[in-house]
Structure 1
Amino acid sequence: MDALNALIADGGDRLWTWIILPVLVVLGLYFTARSGVVQFRLIPEMFRTLTDKTPRDEDGRPQSVSAFQAFTISAASRVGVGNIAGVGTAIAIGGPGAIFWMWAMAFLGGAASFVESTLGQLYKVTDKDGFRGGPAYYMQNGLRARWMGVVFAVILILCFPLAFSSLQANTISATVSATIGVDNAGTWVAWVVGALLAVLTALVVFGGIRRIASVTQAVVPAMALLYLLLGLVIVAMNIDKLPEVFASIFSQAFGLNEVVGATFGMIVMTGVKRGMFSNEAGLGSAPNAGASAAVTHPVKQGLVQTLGVYFDTFLICTITAFIILVSTPDLANATRGIGLTQDAVVGALGSWSGVLLSVIIFLLAFSSILGNYYYGESNIEFITRNPRTLTAYRVIAVAVVFLGSIASADLVWSTADGIMGIMALVNLIAIALLSGVAFKLLKDYTQQRRLGKDPVFTRDLLPGVTGIECWADEASVTGPIDIATRTREHAKQL
């Protein structure tokens, strides 16, 4: 097993070093330049569109989930193990300098996230619960390459609802075991935690996207606020060490870290991999959530999902890094993953905080399981609409949560890294080919905003672009109730 794990880990490292990283950097720079640094320039718009009113149907009901609910679904997947265990792993392997590269790739990745989520909205389709879409859909409808969409969908299903959800469950189990003083997973504690997680997951996922959205809308803001408050208390207690922390992050980002033996390449690679695992920018996962929203212009979800990247990395990951680094850990002998963060929290606040951190990790990881599940469901329905297949998928997704709680995580981590790299590469190729369409949408959005309008897109605004199933006319986009209101307001202005 150790040999297999080493082989998979080595193959994943080579894939990231020689293919994924160069493609990420080049495309990130290209998207940033072509969009006029959209990920910075339109930050105010990101917050404005986050609370956008949801278009309604003829009966006055929301057409689908809201922009904010789509944000929380994607945040539910983003904000999880990667923000606590992943950041701890990055610091243990690459030292404080790895955090700088997490920040840098979040900024570049923001442009990629904008492009992929805008395309996800443009090429979305309708279903019984509202809308669904994502990379598989823009590969099929935008590139006319269904085979590519199927390949992506299969990889995503293996990666998120299976591998990543297993990791989230394993982290919950390990944290609970450590909190009550049990040395390792696989004991009765892990079995009990696994069974409880499986039941809770089943209760939510068998209720469909609207139930998932309702749960994540409540859980994600609560868990984020609780974790941020915990981190701010620890940082405030060690405020005198903050300048030293910033200095170590920047000074060690560009050279050898003697403490952990990390070279420059290792520091960069660790920051990029752990950062992408956490914020998912360019990975092709967030567009699945973004496409489910009912909005009046595709660019709105492009902006909202870019904000999600910042929320994940610049807030949640950064507070984890500060929690660890202000405690001045012994990085030379540090435990990778969740243990480093746990030790820092308990060391700063006392043993009681271990219980609080366990609750936070449970909320983080459980919401990630729900987000991961929805990504898989959207792609299952892309491959087949057979209801039996969807039911079988739900059963498997619940079973994986249970099994992940009692299994060893080492092999799953290495496998997930490799699968994530392949998935990212397929998606990056697709959005590179379709990026021109996203930039046309951005131009239309900014022109409408300059005229003081709340932007509304219809597919006739993109003549020559085929494969767009929704966005037929203004009434279908804004809803009959909203268009009547707009007509009255326009008449008053005249």
Structure 2
Amino acid sequence: MEFVLGGIEALLAPVIGVINRVLWDYVLVYGLLAVGVYFTVRLGFLQVRRFPHMLRIVRPGTGGDASGISPFQALATSLASRVGTGNLAGVAIALGVGGPGALFWMWCTAAVGMATAYAESALAQLYKERDEDGQYRGGPAYYMARGLKNRWMGAAFALSLLLTYGAVFSSVHANAMAQALGAAFGFSQAMVATGLVALAAIIIFGGLRRIVRFAEWVVPFMSVGYLALALWVVVTNITQVPDVLTLVLRSAFGLDAAAGGVLGGITVAMLQGVKRGLYSNEAGMGSAPNIAAAATPMPHHPASQGLVQSLGVFIDTLLICSATGFVILLSGVLGGEGDGVLLTQRAMTVFFGEAGSYFVAVALFFFAFTTIIGNYSYAENNLLYLGGGRIGLLVLRLATLAVIVWGVYTKVQMVWDAADAAMAIMASINLVALVMLSGVVVKLTRDYDRQLDEGRSPEFRIADHPELGDGVDSTIWRRRGA
């Protein structure tokens, strides 16, 4: 097994390296921030002025619409994918490589990324359709084909998402779980792989409805529990928090860089912060819109589901990633032995003894396992877009289980490098589409704002927007009850 995997990794490593250097060093780090700033300014700082409204529209029901899932289920499923190893292992890697300042750039990525997440999910809602089972389907591939009339672009995105979420990302989470469970409980790789495959098979073979039911129960439990423990660490060490914040800001701007000068320190911190921030919150990547499109928005307007998914970025990065970052920096273990999730485990043991290591292992299991399930739902959606039938779904499900096994056994650096490359390709395609459709996003936002300002519950009717009619399913966006 190890010999075969070693040969595959030797062949793939140079290709992965070139993709990462070109896209990350010259395109995405600045492109993601630029697109986020662009939507933030053009939408009038929507993520700030509508933040209270976001909290009010995360609802459990569908208003009797059997074709969709609830806004709460859509948020929980997107968080299942967002809240994963990036929140535990990814933050630790960013701090280890980029220094404490990487946390600041993760915050910046999330702050402007909330606007990007809003834009892509609002578009996914607008251009969604019903599949043969009467269930809503949509996402970037759909708004590229329907909104931009560019089917090849939609197909390219769908293929890259299948690779990213159907393969590479699941291996990342399986790898992190194997490390954490092995370090805390002594589980062998074979034990971890067998257990993960058995549990994943039970859920993914049940389809989207079983996935969202699983997510809406597990995700709130795991997120609140982890945040409560991290908050306890912060409160009991509150006198050190100002020093930690100062360290983060100084490091972010290269003032504490040990080598490479000020510019070098800023570059490394920014690169790691943006990469790990995007990997965690997925804003602009084109992933969350796949589940956002499956929801029945309440209010019945594409913009409302965009706001719900914008809130998901806030929860993922500005709350959960920050919690991990503060625990690590307050513990004083940064710069010592271990990386990834092992560093987070060492930080927790400082405050909770050996129980801290166990807690991180259990938390990572829930975070990573739900992410694998959420990732599968995205991959399934894009396989169906490409025309995959029942046989295609069976192959995808079996491939997902096989990738879990590969992730358990492979080397951690190779896994993260492959994830970076796959994510970069997918995000690049999606960002181009978002900019090209930005005018549509603005129209949706103005319509939603106008109705809210008039004291009404917003409702989108395609008959009122004939300029958007081509490519939009009019049977979905007509007057409610009509």
| TM-score using structure 2 length | 0.93
Q: Tell me the distance in 1 between the aligned counterparts of 2:173 and 2:230.
A: 21
- The structure 2 residue matched to 1:291, chosen from 284, 290, 293, is 293
| Correspondence for 2:233 | 234
Shift of 1:233: 2.0
Q: Tell me the distance in 2 between the aligned counterparts of 1:108 and 1:322.
A: 21
Secondary structure (helix, strand or coil) at the match of 2:69 reads: coil
| Correspondence for 1:263 | 265
**Residues 65-99 of structure 1 deviation map (CA, whole Å, 9 limit, x = unaligned):** 10010001110000000001000000001111111
- The structure 1 residue matched to 2:283, chosen from 259, 274, 281, is 281
| TM-score using structure 1 length | 0.91
| Correspondence for 1:399 | 402
Which residues of structure 1 form unaligned runs of 5+? Answer: 183-188, 484-494
Q: Tell me the distance in 1 between the aligned counterparts of 2:126 and 2:334.
A: 49
Equivalent AA in structure 2 for residue 219 of structure 1 = V
- 2:176 is the counterpart of 1:171: yes
| Correspondence for 2:55 | 47
| Correspondence for 1:206 | 205
- The structure 2 residue matched to 1:135, chosen from 132, 136, 140, is 140
Shift of 1:114: 0.8
Deviates more, 1:465-474 or 1:361-370: 465-474
Q: Is the 8 A contact 1:129 1:209 kept in 2?
A: no
Change (3 A) 1:241 1:72: same
Q: Tell me the distance in 1 between the aligned counterparts of 2:360 and 2:417.
A: 25
Q: Is the 8 A contact 1:173 1:190 kept in 2?
A: yes
| Correspondence for 2:6 | none
Q: Tell me the distance in 1 between the aligned counterparts of 2:55 and 2:37.
A: 24
Q: Is the 8 A contact 1:234 1:345 kept in 2?
A: no
Q: Is the 8 A contact 1:125 1:470 kept in 2?
A: no
Q: Is the 8 A contact 1:126 1:470 kept in 2?
A: no
- The structure 1 residue matched to 2:453, chosen from 443, 450, 454, is 450
Q: Is the 8 A contact 1:115 1:302 kept in 2?
A: yes
- 2:383 is the counterpart of 1:384: no
Secondary structure (helix, strand or coil) at the match of 2:458 reads: coil
- The structure 2 residue matched to 1:27, chosen from 30, 35, 51, is 35
**Residues 314-355 of structure 1 deviation map (CA, whole Å, 9 limit, x = unaligned):** 100000000000012242x44321111110001211102222
**Residues 35-94 of structure 1 deviation map (CA, whole Å, 9 limit, x = unaligned):** 01111111011111112641314xxxx432100100011100000000010000000011
Change (3 A) 1:2 1:324: farther
Which residues of structure 2 form unaligned runs of 5+? Answer: 1-8
- The structure 1 residue matched to 2:321, chosen from 295, 298, 317, is 317
Secondary structure (helix, strand or coil) at the match of 1:464 reads: helix
Secondary structure (helix, strand or coil) at the match of 1:110 reads: helix
Q: Is the 8 A contact 1:279 1:312 kept in 2?
A: yes
Root mean square deviation of aligned Cα: 1.8
- 2:13 is the counterpart of 1:5: yes
Q: Tell me the distance in 1 between the aligned counterparts of 2:390 and 2:381.
A: 13
| Correspondence for 1:215 | 214
Matches within 5 A, 1:352-431: 352-431=355-434
Shift of 1:406: 2.3
Equivalent AA in structure 1 for residue 321 of structure 2 = C
| Correspondence for 2:46 | 38
| Correspondence for 2:308 | 304
Equivalent AA in structure 2 for residue 322 of structure 1 = F
Shift of 1:6: 6.2
Q: Tell me the distance in 2 between the aligned counterparts of 1:131 and 1:402.
A: 32
| Correspondence for 1:100 | 104
Equivalent AA in structure 2 for residue 363 of structure 1 = F
Shift of 1:409: 2.6
Equivalent AA in structure 2 for residue 258 of structure 1 = A
| Correspondence for 2:161 | 156
**Residues 252-282 of structure 1 deviation map (CA, whole Å, 9 limit, x = unaligned):** 1111543476621111111100100000001
Change (3 A) 1:181 1:388: closer
**Residues 392-427 of structure 1 deviation map (CA, whole Å, 9 limit, x = unaligned):** 111111221222222223212111101111111100
**Residues 152-204 of structure 1 deviation map (CA, whole Å, 9 limit, x = unaligned):** 0110111112101111111111111101247xxxxxx1111111111111111
Equivalent AA in structure 1 for residue 29 of structure 2 = L
Q: Which runs of 4+ in 1 moved over 3 A?
A: 1-7, 256-262, 470-475
Change (3 A) 1:56 1:74: same
Q: Tell me the distance in 1 between the aligned counterparts of 2:200 and 2:62.
A: 27
Percent pairwise identity: 41
Question: Number of matched residues?
Answer: 467
Q: Is the 8 A contact 1:125 1:469 kept in 2?
A: yes
Secondary structure (helix, strand or coil) at the match of 1:56 reads: coil
| Correspondence for 1:488 | none
**Residues 111-164 of structure 1 deviation map (CA, whole Å, 9 limit, x = unaligned):** 111110100000011122621110000000011111111100110111112101
Q: Is the 8 A contact 2:189 2:408 kept in 1?
A: yes
Change (3 A) 1:55 1:71: same
Change (3 A) 1:237 1:101: same
Q: Tell me the distance in 1 between the aligned counterparts of 2:316 and 2:124.
A: 20
| Correspondence for 1:487 | none
Q: Is the 8 A contact 1:75 1:312 kept in 2?
A: yes
Deviates more, 1:121-130 or 1:94-103: 121-130
